[in-house]
Amino acid sequence: SSVLSIINLVDTKLIMYRLQTALGYSETYANILYGVYGKTLTLFNLPAAFVTPMTISIVPAIAAAVVQKKFAQGHDIAESALRISAVVAMPMGVGLAVLCDPIVNVLYPNSNDAGPMLLMFLGLASVFVCISLITTSVLQATGHELCPVWSMLAGGKVAVNWFLIAVPELNIVGAPIGTLACYVVICIMNYIFLCRTLHERLHIGRCLARPLLSTVLMAAVAGGVYAGLSAVMGGDLSWKRVALAMLAAMACAVVTYLVAVVKTRAITLSDMQLIPRGEKLAKVLHIR
């Protein structure tokens, strides 16, 4: 937690510094760019807010299994937690990326044109943030709490941002690209540490493949519905029409995703038991 806070603090100062020194932007324009970046960060943090409570609950569950030498049980809990986080994070993150343009224009009208591009990369990055949270919790539960620190340092977010922001074609967009690259590296490093510390390797494909398939179907529906409604309503849409098309696309995407998750069995009844009132929700969704 301390390492992440320090990195974010340095990153904030670095972005403003590089925009002004490397690209020659005025302080006013640099503040405008950082302002829209800060707005998209609010949405970027949303998926993690849903996953964080699970990271708190799985630590004692896995730790208890490890102490009792029930390694298979601890492994199953870890896989279930990873699968649930993927089912929650993937549609939210990819949804932010696919509908980045209407979301920014509806929530923050008349903001800088860089907003949608920033949200697209941050939406994708939020998926890896959630996966990193779960894998970090598993490492902590198994007594390897220093491993995530090395993973965060290996992510090199500050170093990547230093170079990317200085590219004129990227400027502020280099910051979310750096964030995405950082958390991809963290996830890879955490998985390597887990493979070396757990008695049985986590099956990433088994945990992520079906949620990913459901998310791809959802993204196709969301993008298709929004594009179709935009075409029907006309090219230059007013704020109300953009909001209407966006909400309709989101509604269709939610229905598609729920059906896909159930049909592909992306989440199981044992997974749902880790969630408060998960068994009741499983009955409503007919998850067995």
pLDDT band at 254 (very low <50, low <70, confident <90, very high): very high
Other Cβ atoms less than 10 A from the Cβ of 92: the count is 21
Q: Is the dihedral of CA 113, 114, 115, 120 positive or negative?
A: positive
Provide the pLDDT for residue 199: 77
Answer yes or no: are the C-beta atoms of 19 and 25 closer than 8 Å: yes
Answer yes or no: are the C-beta atoms of 191 and 202 closer than 8 Å: yes
- Mean of the pLDDT values across residues 164-181? 93
Find the helix packing angle between 174-197 and 157-164, rounded to 10°. Answer: 150
Provide the pLDDT for residue 28: 94
Q: Over the stretch 51-106, which tens digit does the pLDDT of each residue have?
A: 888 788 788 888 888 888 888 888 888 888 899 899 999 999 999 999 999 999 99
Provide the pLDDT for residue 100: 97
- Mean of the pLDDT values across residues 33-52? 91
Nearest residue to 248 (alpha-carbon basis) of 259, 233, 261 = 233
Q: Tell me the pTM.
A: 0.92
**pLDDT of 243 higher than 70:** yes
Q: Which two tokens stand for residue 36?
A: 């829209």
Provide the pLDDT for residue 4: 62
pLDDT band at 35 (very low <50, low <70, confident <90, very high): very high
Other Cβ atoms less than 10 A from the Cβ of 198: the count is 19
